[in-house]
């Protein structure tokens, strides 16, 4: 089973956690259903579902190293989450910690990014320290520790139940590849509806660098297009990222991931890792080069 999870740090019936489910059959990603989870209880129940499953979750699996080291939070994913929640029992205390640290830095440097946030030219995901506007920091705070508490494995970051694997997703990464900077959510105007249609068509016909065709029932397609908030489509994009990762050696992640920053699934690999992968797929000896 494959899961694509559009996360909310405070789910409600109006703004639920949205989960797309599917499987790869004969090289095609078959979308089976899209569910709404209006509470954290539902999310925790999802994490406890027996495997095997691989899920792509739309929240950060790490924090910028500069912040982690300045706060002496630890050197591993589990250590950082554990210490952070010990010091900050509520997410508002986490915001206060980030604000206090940021106030000592020059303007423009108070919300640093991780290395993986800016690996794709032309697009950058929001800093995991951002707790306002798009509260990605709160999503990290509420989401990651629940994965760890549930015993889910995080490839390259944390050992857990090998039958339940989770990778970090970023739906905007795949959407940007298809429609550039055009907006596709938070509006039911014609331009955004057209953008959603364009994205779904590209996914169906595998017109992305992931080269994975998708099949989605007509009723689900209509629901995705009708969702002006874009939550259904974000969950679908996460599902595609989960499907791609499931078919790659090592989930398509770098061999060595910064244990406090993590890595976004389907994000281009660092140059050194790309070069190593190229050598493996097309080995050329020094003698042959000469």
pLDDT of residue 278: 45
What is the full DSSP assignment across the chain? -EEEEE--SS--SSS-EEEEEEEEETTEEEEEEEEEE-SHHHHHHHHTS-SSEEEEESS-S---HHHHHHHT--SSHHHHHHHHHHH-SSHHHHHHHHHHHHTTS-TT-SS---GGGG-STT--PPPTT--SSS-HHHHHHHHHHHHHHTTEEBTTTB--EEEEEEEE--HHHHHHHHHTT---SS--SHHHHHHHHHHHHHHHTT-STT---EE--HHHHHHHHH-TT-HHHHHHHHHHHHHHHHTSGGGG--SS--TTT--BTTSPPPHHHHHHHHHHHS---HHHH-
Q: What is the pTM of this model?
A: 0.92
Q: Please, are residues 174 and 236 in contact by the beta-carbon 8 Å criterion? A: no
Interval 29-64: pLDDT, tens: 999 999 999 999 999 999 999 999 999 999 999 999
pLDDT of residue 270: 75
- Between CA 22 and CA 33 the distance in angstroms is 7
- Residue 276 corresponds to which tokens in the numbers above? 């190593």
Average pLDDT value for the chain: 92
pLDDT (mean) for 228-238? 98
pLDDT (mean) for 211-216? 97
- Between CA 62 and CA 116 the distance in angstroms is 10
What residues are paired with 113 via a beta bridge? Answer: none
Residue 1: other Cβ atoms inside 10 A? 16
Give the chain's end-to-end CA distance (angstroms, integer).
Answer: 48
Interval 66-125: pLDDT, tens: 999 999 999 999 999 999 999 999 999 999 999 999 999 998 899 999 999 999 888 889
pLDDT of residue 271: 64
- Between CA 278 and CA 288 the distance in angstroms is 16
Interval 254-287: pLDDT, tens: 999 999 999 999 998 876 544 444 444 443 333 3
Long-range contacts of 151-155 (CB under 8 A, 24+ apart): 152/47, 152/55, 154/61, 154/77, 154/262, 155/250, 155/251, 155/253
Interval 154-191: pLDDT, tens: 999 999 999 999 999 999 999 999 999 999 999 999 99
Q: Please, are residues 240 and 178 in contact by the beta-carbon 8 Å criterion? A: no
pLDDT (mean) for 206-220? 96
pLDDT (mean) for 16-24? 98
Q: Which residues are within 8 A (CB) of 160 and not within 5 positions of it... i.e. 6 or more apart?
A: 148, 151, 152, 153, 154
pLDDT of residue 272: 55
């Amino acid at each position: 089973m494959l899961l694509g999870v559009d996360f909310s740090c405070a789910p409600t019936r109006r703004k639920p956690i949205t989960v797309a489910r599917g499987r790869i059959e004969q090289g095609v990603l078959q979308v089976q259903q899209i569910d709404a989870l209006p509470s954290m209880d539902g999310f925790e129940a999802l994490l406890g579902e027996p495997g095997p499953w691989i899920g792509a979750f739309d929240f950060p699996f790490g924090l910028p190293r500069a912040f982690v080291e300045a706060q002496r939070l630890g050197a591993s994913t589990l250590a950082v989450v554990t210490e952070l929640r010990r010091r900050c029992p509520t997410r508002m205390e986490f915001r206060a910690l980030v604000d206090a640290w940021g106030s000592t830095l020059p303007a423009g440097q108070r919300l640093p990014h991780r290395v993986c946030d800016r690996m794709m030219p032309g697009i950058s995901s929001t800093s995991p320290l951002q707790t306002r506007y798009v509260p990605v920091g709160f999503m990290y705070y509420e989401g990651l520790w629940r994965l760890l508490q549930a015993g889910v494995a995080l490839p390259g970051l944390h050992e857990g139940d090998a039958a339940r694997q989770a990778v970090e997703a970023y739906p905007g990464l795949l959407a940007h590849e298809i429609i550039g900077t055009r907006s596709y959510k938070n509006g039911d105007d014609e331009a955004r509806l057209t953008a959603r249609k364009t994205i779904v068509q590209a996914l169906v016909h595998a017109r992305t660098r992931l080269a994975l065709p998708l099949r989605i029932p007509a009723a689900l397609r209509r629901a995705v297009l009708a969702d002006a908030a874009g939550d259904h489509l974000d969950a679908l994009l996460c599902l595609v990222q989960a499907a791609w990762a499931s078919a790659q050696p090592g989930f398509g992640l770098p061999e060595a991931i910064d244990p406090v920053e993590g890595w976004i699934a389907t994000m281009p690999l660092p140059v050194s890792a790309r070069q190593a992968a190229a050598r493996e797929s097309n080995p050329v000896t020094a003698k042959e080069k000469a």
